[in-house]
Structure formats: C-alpha cells, structure tokens
Structure 1
Amino acid sequence: MAYSGDPILVEELLYRPVHSLIDQSLHAKLGGFTTNGDGVGIGWYGDRAEPAVYKSTHPAWNDRDLREIASQIRTPLLFAHIRASSGTPVQRSNCHPFRHGRWLWMHNGSLAEFGTLKRDLVMAVDPALYPQIEGSTDTETLFFLALTFGLEDDPPTAVARAVALVEEVGHRHGVAYPVHMTVATTDGESIWVFRYSSEGETSSLYYSTDVAQVRQLHPELEALQQLGPDTRFVVSEPLRELPGAWHEVPDGSWGLVHRDKGEIHPFQPLVRV
C-alpha cells in the first residue's frame, strides 16, 4: 500500500480499515498467496529529505513493535508492504521497501528462476551502486538495475530498461516468462507504479483519485474526514469494496500519482540499442 496526502497517523492506514494491509497479511483475496507472513516493512517521509524505514521478519499481524510505532508516526507519504517469500530467505534485509537516498521501492511478484539469472543481473548493476545491495532478493536486484538505468532522472524509462534486461537474460537462460511485477517507487514527492508481466497475467493493482469516495468506504475512520482533496492511495487489493472508488491499473501500464494529478500510460520493456 502507498499513501500520499495530508499527514496522517500510520495506524489509521495499517490497522483501522476493514480489509487493512494487516488483515491482508492473513486474508489476501487477489494475490498469489492468501497468507503473507514472511516479514513486514514500512517507509515514510518526515522532516528530512530521506525516508525512514522499519522492517521486521515478524508476521505483520503479530508485530508488536510495528503496532507501537504506528500509533506515533504521522506522515504525508507512506509505503507499506507485507512479504510472502518467493524463495529467498526470511531476513530483515530481504523485507520491503528498499531504500536508496530519497527513493523507496517495493514489489509484488517475482523474477522467474531468479537463482539462475541472478549472477548475470547483479553483474549489470553499476559498480558504484553494487556495495549498497544488502539482501538477496529479486526485488532489490530489480531496484538497483532501475537505479543503474537512471531511475532518479526518468523512472518509466529506467524501469522499462531494467525489465528488458531481465527478459533478455531470462530468455537467454531458457526462461519463458521472466518478469511478474507490480512495482511502486517514490522520491518523496511523486509515486510511480508499474504493472507488467512477461506472460500478461499480473498481480492486481488499484488506485484512488477521490478522497470523498474513500470516506464512504471507511465511515469508521474519523481521520479521513480531515484529509484534503489531494489524498491518493495505491493498493494491491481494495481496502473495502465500493463501486467507482477504486480504479484498476491496467496490465501493461505505468502510472504517475501526485497530489495534483494522476496519469496512466502503456508500459513496454525498452531494449537499449
């Protein structure tokens, strides 16, 4: 889940909605895993330019420290992620979101047969960035490939080039469908989202554009009544069903989410020439 808008307590976003992200860690409906208990992480922006990150290998529903800090953190931009490992170890350095400077990155999905592709992919990471890779996940590798290809200057082009590289390496190793992803990344001002898979069957991704409709979704959340019209949500699953409140990001698309605008564009891998 990603949130952008007026500062709000994290607990209002993580714990109060009926089908909150914490509830989804046990009862996900649309993803590949019903239970997502291999760790939890949040990233948020405060008084400094760079975001803070909290990560834990505890299941989200049983993380007392997360519950404790969520009642005290107020932020205008939050990334939150619950993890179901696709094969890499359950350890803090493998939990999302990942951070580099001002940037946060999180991902649902996988790079198929990552163990086979990993060496070729990490060798393509900029040598200056490589020492900053802390974990062993496909997600972090994809993040650092995007940084290598210019994420900080042009996120859509950088991600398109990173995905093209993964597909090229995958096909070279006989992997038919190397990429399956929904990605969210932010510099603390805007949020870019991507939904793409090599086989055209990608995990769900939704966004909201009208906070008034979100208020109808959650009359139990008094805090929403105080939020301004620029409030935006991005979620893997709707926090509660309400016709017209959530818009699905089409498969094979990228989107820009900002306080004063939202855009959706076609997404295609971009092979460098």
Structure 2
Amino acid sequence: MSGSSADQSAKSGRWADLLPRTLSAIVMLGVGGASIHFGGLAFAVFVSVCIGAVVWEVLRMFHPGGKVSAVGCGVLGTAALILASYLPLIAVPVVLAVPLALGVLSLKAHRRQVAGVLAWVLLGGFGLIWLRDAYWVGWTYWLIFVVVATDVAGYFCGKYFGGRKFWPAISPKKTWSGTAGGWVAAALTGVVCVLSIHLPPDIIWISVFVSMFSQGGDIAESALKRQTGIKDSSQLIPGHGGVFDRFDGMLGAGALCFLVAITWG
C-alpha cells in the first residue's frame, strides 16, 4: 500500500503544475490573440510590455539588489520598442541601444553576457512586432502556433515518455523525447497552416527549423538561470514562472524570422 501511495503521489506531483499552467496559458493566448488580431499599436504595446518585463527579469538575475535600475530599464525597454515600431529600420538599432546600454551600465559584472542577452531579447521582440506589420497576419499566427506547439508537445512528451536527458548540465528537465516531440508538433503545425491558410509547402520544414531556434532560446535561458542559481526568472505568471520563462522560445523564433525576412525577403 505504501509503495502504491508513493507512486500515486509521484504521479500527481509530476502533473501538479498543469492546472495553473493551463489557465495562465489560456489568458495569455486570449490577450495575445486579440492583440495580434488588431495589430498596430495594440500588438506593439502587448509585445513591448512583455519585453520590458523580460529586461527587468534579466537585470534582476545578475544584480538582485538593483531593483530600481532594473525597473527603470524595463520601462525604458517597453517605450523604446513601441517607438521603434513606428520608425524606419535604419533608426531601430539606435533606439533599442538605449535601454541595452543603460541596462549594461547598471551592472558591475557580466556586462558582455548581459549585453548579448538583452540584444537578443530586444531584437526578438522587435522582430515579432515587425513581422505582424510587414507581412500578412497569417505568418504571425503560424510563428506563434509553431512555438506553442513545440512547447506543449515538448512538455507532454517529456512528462509522459521521459527517457534520456537532452542536456542535463544546462536543462536537467528536458528530454530527447520532449525535444523530438516538439519537432514533430512543429512539422504538423506547418502542415495544418499549408492546408488551412494556404502558406507555401516549404513552411513545413521551415517550421521544424523555427522549432529548433525556439528550443535554443529556451536552453539559453536555462543556462542563464543555472549560472545565476535561480529556478524561475520571476513569479509573474502562475505555473510558468516569469515572462522570460514563457517567451524565451518565442524570442528565439522571432529573432530568426526577422533576420531571415530582411535578408532574403
């Protein structure tokens, strides 16, 4: 009996975060979906607020005592992204460099590393806004669906199948089963987008590539958390931790799609 109780307790513990995680995801998808639908300022504000929160979280990771400067840089990051979304591309790096530079200068150590992280975060956020404005909204939905499918499939496949760890030194919870499940889910999402909203067939293998970059963003954030000795970037989102914990994959995919789009069109 005791062994059976222990097994049941372990199973329930494995899925203990499912309800708050699901409810939070529903709220985020609802708000995010509405902002995508309306586009323009609505989407720019939604993404920019999220990025401002990420900037705040990153600076807190490396300098927990600098609460005031972290908040200020987060607010500045939000404002800079909103402004950048209305400026020509040539002016965007200058605008986004302001919160990046101030954030780095607020630290006494790890400045190069934080500069790289903030550059990725700000570029990924701007990429999402730019993609929605420059292309048909279906492309934005495709990108988000691929990232969400990757994350959801990775979560359930990893929890259900378990197995060999993907990179235990960096992200001890991630498994090969979850990683591969994310690739399969991304490809299937590509198939659905080809059939339903008539995206080109090449989007199927591109979806797998985007999935990999999404997972790369997640792994990069996991490495930062391991380095700084924290479990979550913050506790802003029940069941998910911080905004960075939730949007790291989206930022990796957003940065990739933006760079590919401006390079090859």
TM-score (norm 2): 0.34
TM-score (norm 1): 0.33
The structure carrying a bigger strand percent of its residues is 1
The structure carrying a bigger helix percent of its residues is 2
